[in-house]
Structure 1
Amino acid sequence: MSQTITLRRPDDWHLHLRDGAMLKAVLPETTAHFARAIIMPNLVPPVVTSDQAQAYRERILNALPQGADFEPLMTLYLTEDTDPADVAAAHASGLIYAVKLYPAGATTNSASGVANFDNVRAVLEKMAEIGLPLCVHGEVTDAEIDIFDREAVFIDRVLDPIRRATPGLRVVMEHITTRNAVDYASAQDDTLGATITTHHLVINRNHILAGGIKPHYYCLPVAKREEHRLALRAAATSGDNRFFLGTDSAPHTDANKLLPCGCAGCFTAPNTLSILAQVFEEDGALDRLERFTSLNGPAFYGLLPNDATITLEKSGASYPDHIATEDGPVTVFDPGFDLHWKVL
C-alpha cells in the first residue's frame, strides 16, 4: 500500500468564513489546503446584492495570509425581494457563482430566507436561463415535521416541484444527510449535484446524543441514523460525478456552541483532508478520493480542475483542539479516531 497520495489541489464547494475577527482567524485553515471555495452568504446582515458580495469578497482577499493562492467564489443569499437583473449582472461580471436558498429559519442566520417559493419564481427562471446554479439548504421548517425527517420532506415537497417547474435549473443539494437524498440525486440528470460534508461521513446521531450531549457534533442538517451515514459514504466513495466535497465548515466560538441554545456547525477546515483520506482508505477507494475532492465539483460548476497538486503522507497527523480568535476559541472537529494521513 502506497504511503503517499497526490491529488489535484482540492476545492471546498460549501464554506462558512464568517466576517471580521473570525474571518481572519479561520481563513488560513482553508487556504492551507484548498484553492477555491463557494462562500456562504449568511452573514448578519446577509449578502443579498452584488454590491454586498463585492464588498465581502474584498474583505476576504484582504484577510488572505501572505502568499496564499485562494479564490473565493461568491454567492448571493436568495430572498423574496431578490432582483433577477442584479443576479444576472453579478453572474455576467464573474462575481458570483451561485445563489443560495435558505428556507426561512432553517439554520444559522436564515431568518431572511424564503417562506413563499412562488415569490422567487422569476429569479429561478432567470438563473435557469443563464446557467447559474442554485445551492439549496434542503430542509423544511414546519414545526410539525420531525427534525430528522425535514430533508426527505423537502425533497418531495419543495425541491422536486421547483426543478419540474423550472426546466434546466442547475441545483446543488447541499450537505445531504440521508439515503433519501442520495437516492434522489443518483436518479437525476447532470443539472443536479450534491455536496457531502466531512463530518456527515463520520458521525451519526448517536455520536451527538449517546452518553451525553456533544455540542461540537451538533450541526444542521443534523446527523441522522447509521444507515444514512453509510449511504453517504457509499455515494462519496463511488466516484459518481454527482457527488463532491462541500465541507460546510462552520466555525462558532466555544462560548456560542455551549449556550443553552447553542449554535449549529462543525469546524472541519483544518483536518478535512486527513479525515477524508482515512475514510476513503477504509472503504477501499483511495483511487477515487481525487474525484470527490478535486474533479467532480469543478465539472459541475463548469470550471477547470486546479493545476496545482497536494500530497498526503501516511505517517500520522495531529491537529490542535482549538484555534484562537479575537472573539474566543473555536473547537476543531474531532473525528473520534487517530488520523493516519497528513498533508505535506
Structure 2
Amino acid sequence: MQAGAVLTLTRPDDWHLHLRDGAVLRSVVRDSARQFARAIIMPNLKPPVVSTADALAYRGRILAALRENGVPEDTFEPLMTLYLTDRTPPDEIRRAKDSGLVHGVKLYPAGATTHSDAGVTDLLGHCRSTLAVMQDCGMPLLVHGEVTDPKVDLFDREAVFIDRVMRPLRSAFPALKVVFEHLTTADGVAYVRQADGPIAATITAHHLLYNRNALFKGGLRPHWYCLPVLKREHHRQALVEAATSGDARFFLGTDSAPHPRGAKEQDCGCAGCYTASHAMALYATAFEAAGRLDRLEAFASLNGPAFYGLKPNAGTLTLERVQEQIPLALPLAESQVVPLAAGESIAWRIRASGQA
C-alpha cells in the first residue's frame, strides 16, 4: 500500500494482556485503551488473582487507573480472569461465572513464566472437579502451553505440552472451552486446527514478525526475550499462515508484558515483550507482509468475541500507513520500559479510534 493509505477496522480486542498493578498499571493502561475496546487481563500478580473477590478488586483498580489517565471507562473494558491453582474450589468458578465480569481461568504450569510459582503442578491430578464445573458453565480455560520439565529442551516445551497435557485434558473434558495462548509453533497450529471441540488460540505480534535470530542480532537482545521464546523461522511462517488464513480459531492476543528496563537488562533478565504502545501497527505490518491486510479485521476484531460469546465492538480503529519510529523507551512508574523494536521504523500508526 502507498504511504498515507488508511485501514479502518471494527475496534479490536486484546485477548491476552498484562497490565500489572499500582504505578506500573497507571503507566501502561492508556497504551492499550487507545487501541483496544476490551482486553483479557492476566491474573499473575503478586499475590495472584485467585478468587472472584480478588478479580473484582483488581478490576476496580484498573478502572481507577483509566480515570487517572483521563480515559472514559466506557471506552475500555477489562475482562477479568482467575489464576488456577491446585486448590481452586469448584464453587469459586460458579461465583466467577455468576459475577458476569470474570471471563476465563488461567492455567500457568508452576514455574512456566513470570509470577507462575503458584501455578498448577498436576492439572488432571488436582483440578478435575474444578475443570468439570468450568466445562459445565462454559468458563474458558486459558492455557500457557509449555511443560516445565527441566529435561525438555526450552524450544520443545510447547510441542511436548500438547502430548502430555492438552491431549489428556481434551480427552477428559471434550466440551471445555480452551484457549491455547501465545501459540509459537507449527505443532501448535496443527493441533488447534485439527482438535475437536471448542478450542482456539491467540497469537502475538512478536511471534508473527520475528524468529529466534532476533534474540541474538548483533549481541544478546533482552527486549526480544519472552516466554514462550521465539522459535525457528518455519514456526514463524506457520503462525503467519494461521493468523492470516481466516480460520476463526485464531485471534489477537498481544501478551504485552511491561518490565522495568533494569529487570530486563541484567544477568537473569525477565521474560516479556512490551508491545501495547504500538500493537496494532505491528499486526498490520505482519499482515501486510503476508499480502493479507484484508483479513486483519477478522483476526483482531471478530474471531475473539465469537469464541468468548460476546458481540463485536461498535466502534472503529483507523490505521494510517505512515513511517514512524518506535520510541527508544517509555515511562514506567519510576523507571522506563523499552518497547519491542525500540528505535526501529514501522510503516503503520493509529490515526483514530472511537466508539460508535
Structure 1, unaligned runs of 5 or more? none
Residue 120 (structure 2) pairs with residue 135 (structure 1): no
Structure-2 residue corresponding to 1:244: 251
The counterpart of 1:72, out of the listed 74, 78, 92, is 78
Structure-2 residue corresponding to 1:193: 200
Residue 233 (structure 2) pairs with residue 229 (structure 1): no
Residue 320 (structure 2) pairs with residue 318 (structure 1): no
The counterpart of 2:50, out of the listed 48, 51, 76, is 48
Structure-2 residue corresponding to 1:327: 334
The separation in 1 between residues aligned to 2:235 and 2:165, in whole angstroms, is 21
The separation in 2 between residues aligned to 1:284 and 1:40, in whole angstroms, is 32
CA-CA distance at 1:327 after TM superposition: 3.1
Structure-2 residue corresponding to 1:116: 122
The separation in 2 between residues aligned to 1:339 and 1:67, in whole angstroms, is 26
The separation in 2 between residues aligned to 1:253 and 1:335, in whole angstroms, is 14
Residue 100 (structure 2) pairs with residue 94 (structure 1): yes
The separation in 2 between residues aligned to 1:160 and 1:120, in whole angstroms, is 16
Provide the TM-score with structure 2 as the length reference.
0.94
CA-CA distance at 1:188 after TM superposition: 2.2
CA-CA distance at 1:203 after TM superposition: 1.2
Instruction: Report the residue type matching 1:105 in the other structure.
Output: G
The counterpart of 1:264, out of the listed 271, 274, 296, is 271
Instruction: Report the residue type matching 2:254 in the other structure.
Output: T
The 8 Å contact of residues 327 and 342 in structure 2, kept in 1 or not, is answered as: no
Provide the TM-score with structure 1 as the length reference.
0.98
CA-CA distance at 1:342 after TM superposition: 1.2
Give me the CA root mean square deviation: 1.2
CA-CA distance at 1:340 after TM superposition: 1.4
Structure-2 residue corresponding to 1:151: 158
SS of the residue aligned with 2:202? strand
SS of the residue aligned with 1:206? helix
Structure 2, unaligned runs of 5 or more? 352-356
Change (3 A) 1:292 1:334: same
Q: Which runs of 4+ in 1 moved over 6 A?
A: none
Structure-2 residue corresponding to 1:34: 36
Change (3 A) 1:248 1:137: same
The 8 Å contact of residues 317 and 342 in structure 1, kept in 2 or not, is answered as: yes
SS of the residue aligned with 1:270? helix
Identity of aligned residues (%): 56
The separation in 2 between residues aligned to 1:189 and 1:318, in whole angstroms, is 43
Structure-2 residue corresponding to 1:61: 63
Q: Which moved more, 1:63-72 or 1:46-55?
A: 63-72
Q: Which moved more, 1:298-307 or 1:310-319?
A: 310-319
CA-CA distance at 1:206 after TM superposition: 1.1
The separation in 2 between residues aligned to 1:332 and 1:46, in whole angstroms, is 25
SS of the residue aligned with 1:329? strand
How many aligned residue pairs are there?
344
SS of the residue aligned with 1:63? helix
The 8 Å contact of residues 190 and 242 in structure 1, kept in 2 or not, is answered as: no
Structure-1 residue corresponding to 2:186: 179
The separation in 2 between residues aligned to 1:43 and 1:115, in whole angstroms, is 18
The separation in 2 between residues aligned to 1:207 and 1:318, in whole angstroms, is 18
1:93-119, Cα deviation, whole Å (9 max, x unpaired): 202000000000000000000012210
1:144-166, Cα deviation, whole Å (9 max, x unpaired): 00000000000011011101101
CA-CA distance at 1:341 after TM superposition: 1.4
The 8 Å contact of residues 257 and 274 in structure 2, kept in 1 or not, is answered as: yes
Instruction: Report the residue type matching 1:40 in the other structure.
Output: M
